Structure 1
Amino acid sequence: MTGQFEGRGLDLLRGDFPFYTVTFVRDLAPSELLMRMGADPSTVAVRDMDELAADFGDSFSDEIEPVVSSGTTRCWSWAWEEGGVHGLHAPNLRAVSIGTEAVVLHHNEKMDSFAYAVDGQVVVAFDTLQEIHPIGTDPRRLDEQMRPLGLGPGLEHDVHSVLALVENAFGIRLTREDLNDEPHLSGLLCPLAD
């Protein structure tokens, strides 16, 4: 089943990333996305990969104050967290989606998490740790796109089904070139409030 997903817009995430959190927001500048996510303004600057490593060194993958980089792909801005899950934090998700829409993907060795929010409201969210039962203000909104991918109660899904959902339902693309070719706005996210 994995073969059906080759050559898609999020192939980069099908590679060797044991952990990631990526937030996508439609028609919002990367600088505004970082501010809404809670980036420390004193740390935000345009950096290439070498400068990012030099500036943040040992704290590069910190879970409490993760390094975040941001850029654009088509009409979507993206924020890639090097070590945290701030994008899934409900207040952050509400903040980044006000006046627009946001999609968040989180992956670790045990599960994938997905959240879709519009204008400050979480519309659909689920994770793959157990049987999938979406929650949100309209948890069935993406059923037509989810079911063929095995994303629903009693269905079997492929390891990359959540990525395919994001590609199919939202047309989101993110390539290695998007991440590495140019310097990007980056900084440290402040610790999440309890």
Structure 2
Amino acid sequence: MTEAPESPCFPGYETLGEIYCVSFVRGISPEEALRRFGVDEETLEEVDFDELGHRSVEAMSEDAAGFVGAARIGDWTVLIEPGGWQVAVDEDIYTRVSRGTEVVSVCRHEYAEDSFAYIVDGAPVVHFTPDMPDDRSGSDPDRFVDQMREVGLDPDHDIEGPDIVDSLGGAFALAGHITGLPTSTDLRTLRFLGADPLES
């Protein structure tokens, strides 16, 4: 089997459950990230990681996060959708969130497809399912092939061959390579600005 990253990257993501999206947005504030995502600004409040998850699950509807949170890490904002998936795959949302900047997004979806996305100014540059890293799309799908190999996501992976041990762990490690953020950052220790999404 393809080797997984040696140590957990951005620990805490694995506690988010069966469906979630963790996105890193360069150079904008948590407030601006939430505004671009589309939230009811009257519901903005500071929460910890556990409360973010509980609030979102309680308010979930139609397989989308019921409460989203954003926190600053260096020059990036991490935007978390517990129970959601939209920044990775919803064109309307990722276009708004990535306007004039770049977004790295890792999405787990228990009964659909996991996703890794690198989006620049509204345009997907690299997109793939982490357990099928050979099948990539976007304007420059080979941009990170060397980094993919380093984190155990073989860009030439044979679907008929051995499984990838920890595809999501590899996806978070790749996010660390792209953002340059310390992958030891424990998401569970962050304080988030959270809010209810607007009705679509």
Number of positions where the alignment pairs a residue of Structure 1 with one of Structure 2: 187
Quick check: 1:40–1:190 contact (8 Å CA) kept in 2? Answer: yes
Asked whether 1:82 is paired with 2:66, we answer: no
Q: Deviations over 1:115-163 (max 9, x none)?
A: 0011221111111365631111111111121134233243453312212
Superposition TM-score, scaled by structure 1 size: 0.79
* Structure 1 residue 54, shift from structure 2 partner: 8.8
Identify unmatched segments of 5+ residues in structure 1: none
Paired amino acid for 1:93: Y
The TM-score, its normalising length taken from structure 2, stands at 0.77
> Is 1:171 the counterpart of 2:180 in the alignment?
yes
CA distance in 2, matches of 1:28, 1:73: 11
- Separation (CA, whole Å) in 2 of partners of 1:13 and 1:23: 11
Residues 64 and 191, structure 1, Cα contact 8 Å, conserved in 2? no
1:191–1:85 CA distance, 2 compared to 1 (3 A): farther
Query: Residues 123 and 136 of structure 1 are in contact (CA less than 8 Å); yes or no, is this contact kept in structure 2?
Result: yes
**1:161 aligned to 2:170?**
yes
1:45 is aligned to 45
Partner in structure 1 of residue 105 of structure 2: 104
Q: What pairs up with 1:1-194 in 2 under 5 angstroms?
A: 1-2=3-4, 4-6=5-7, 8-14=8-14, 17-48=17-48, 58-59=58-59, 61-62=60-61, 63-64=63-64, 66-88=66-88, 89-109=90-110, 111-128=113-130, 130=132, 132-148=134-150, 149-155=152-158, 157-159=164-166, 160-172=169-181, 173=183, 175-176=185-186, 178-182=187-191, 184-192=192-200
Over the residues paired in the alignment, what is the CA RMSD in angstroms? Answer: 2.9
Segments of 5+ residues of structure 2 without an aligned counterpart are none
CA distance in 2, matches of 1:14, 1:51: 16
1:113 is displaced (CA, Å) by 0.9
- Tell me the CA shift for residue 27 of structure 1: 1.0
Provide the identity percentage.
27
- Structure 1 pair 131/97, CA: closer, same or farther in 2 (3 Å)? closer
Q: CA deviation at 1:91?
A: 1.9
Structure 1 CA distance for aligned equivalents of residues 15 and 82 of structure 2: 15
Q: Distance in 2 between matches of 1:9 and 1:53?
A: 19
| SS of match in other structure, 1:138 | coil
In structure 1, give the amino acid aligned to 2:35: M
How far apart in 1 are the matches of 2:82 and 2:15?
15
Q: What displacement does 1:20 show?
A: 1.9
1:79 offset after TM fit, Å? 1.1
